[in-house]
Amino acid sequence: MKAVITISVFLLFLFSCRKETRDLAENTIVSDKNLNKNIVDSIRNQSIFIHENENTLTRIWVKSNEKRGNYFYSDTVNVLKISKYQFAGQKLNLINDIDLEKTEWAYLEIDSTNIKTRKIGKMKYLFLTYQVSNMGKAMNEHSVNFSMINVDSIADNFSLQYFGYPSDYCNECIRGNFEENSKRKSSKMAKTALHHYAETSKLIYYPSAEEKNISHYKNYAEKWQKDNQADNNFGAGYAIIPNVLYSTYYDEDLFKLNSASEETIENKNYTIQSFFRGNLLGFDKNKKKYFPIIVESCSHFCNKSVEFIDGQTLKITYEDDQSFEINLSKIVFK
């Protein structure tokens, strides 16, 4: 019986020590000199970045209940934090704590390949890239966030955000636009530095000068949506086909710009390709030109099948059995 009590006491003591060390890593006052090394090691192990000198320790870390490796987090709430501590004798005091990003019902992924430090003037800045994508089926928009943080004065931090959707034009990147963070003031120096830093990211698509023109064939999807006054990017579902469809003819092979072709059909006038949960494109055999019919993307519930009813009319049936017909000869070309 004594042995059982002794083991129980020992396990209780061991659990208490572990819990104390974990709590200290987040909050922290360390009164036992022997714990200083342990808590600093614990903080290091739980951090994405550490900057340390004789008096202070600064770290970047994520508060999350579901950590998958060192750089990927999935939780109802993820908080990307900057924390600064001060060594004071036998104590390690938390002196500043800033939430750099707070996400809800999202995946938060740190780009471990693009963490950099750079000296600007007399100040040393940390540059950090992280991506946020939504959990569930409601939205498929992603954001890539670029941050620069003064490692000696963490209140001096700036951010630049890029919003978009998965793109076929690069490997695992998104295509969209930059949006300044209106919640934070930013200097000209910070904006310039962040845009230069963003150019090194493989997570976003950078068009060439020529490709920035909306009439460029690589921008066929953006032009189609602008002409049809549509934004057909859905987490779940599909677009209702308008009564009047606008499109554009292209000499370039649009089929090659898309991946995962789901179905190809043709008759004497057209070749039609439907792409997996994506665009519906056509090739006019008489004009020898390519054109978008429907531009859309989604994550769920927009698989579709296509068939010709006659030489000019296309029938589209989605997976919920909703059907639409498009007379290709009535598309208005711009």
Residue 161 lies in a domain: yes
Residues 247 and 320 in one domain: yes
- Our CA angle for 171, 177, 183, nearest 5°, is 125
The last residue of one of the domains, among 166, 198, 230, is 198
Select from 261, 264, 256, 252 the least CA-distant residue to 288.
Answer: 252
Which tens digit of pLDDT belongs to each residue from 148-200? 999 999 999 999 999 998 888 887 899 999 986 655 566 889 999 999 999 99
Tokens of 304: 């579709």
- List the one residue out of 104, 91, 98 whose CA is nearest residue 126: 98
DSSP 283-306: EETTTTEEEEEE--EEEES--EEE
Yes or no: say if 224 and 233 are a contact pair by the CB < 8 Å rule.
no
pLDDT in tens, 279-334: 999 999 999 999 999 999 887 788 899 999 999 999 999 988 999 999 999 999 99
Residues 173, 267 within the same domain: no
More confident residue, 35 or 304: 304
Q: Which residues have C-beta within 8 Å of that of residue 181, sequence separation ≥ 6? A: 158, 159, 160, 161
Q: Which of 136, 170, 198 is the last residue of a domain?
A: 198
Look at residue 140 and tell me if it is in a domain. Answer: yes
Residues 157 and 260 both lie in one domain = no
203 domain residue, yes or no: no
| pLDDT tier, 252 (very low <50, low <70, confident <90, very high otherwise) | very high
High-pLDDT (> 90) share of the chain, %: 59
> Using an 8 Å Cβ cutoff, are 124 and 152 in contact?
yes
Task: Indicate whether 120 and 228 sit together in one domain.
Answer: no
Evaluate whether residue 314 is within a structural domain: yes
Domain of 288, CATH number, reads 2.40.10.360
Question: Residue 52 and residue 41: Cα distance in Å, rounded?
Answer: 12
189 and 142 co-located in one domain: yes
How far apart (Å, rounded) are the C-alpha atoms in residues 149 and 129? Answer: 12
Q: Are residues 111 and 147 in the same domain?
A: yes
Rg of the Cα atoms in the chain = 27
Do 238 and 327 lie in one domain? The reply is: yes
Same domain, 272 and 157: no
- Calpha distance 262→274 (Å, rounded): 6
Whether 66 and 187 share a structural domain:
yes
The 3-state secondary structure of 193-248, one letter per residue: HHHHHHCCCCCECCCCCHHHCCCCHHHHHHHHHHHCCCCCEEEECCCCCCCCCEEC
Angstrom distance (rounded) from CA 40 to CA 68: 22
Q: How far apart are CA 231 and CA 201, in angstroms?
A: 26
> What is the C-alpha separation between 99 and 86, in angstroms, rounded?
19
The verdict on 218 and 280 lying in the same domain is yes
Task: Compute φ and ψ for 304, nearest 5 degrees.
Answer: -140, 155
In a domain, residue 112? The reply is yes
72 in any annotated domain: yes
Q: Categorise residue 260: left if φ over 0, alpha if ψ from -120 to 50, beta otherwise.
A: left
The residue out of 145, 169, 198 marking a domain boundary is: 198
Question: Within a domain: residue 313?
Answer: yes
The total number of structural domains in the chain stands at 2
74, part of any domain: yes
How distant, in Å, are the alpha carbons of 1, 110, 137, 246, 302 from that of 323?
75, 42, 22, 20, 12
Domain range for 315: 214-333
pLDDT, tens digit, 9 for 90 and up, residues 75-111: 889 999 999 999 887 778 899 999 999 999 999 999 9
User: Which tokens go with 192?
Assistant: 């310039």
My answer on whether 129 and 233 are in the same domain is no
**Are 64 and 161 in the same domain?**
yes
d(CA 217, CA 248): 9
Q: What is the pTM of this model?
A: 0.78
Of 81, 159, 80, 148, residue with least CA distance to 118: 148
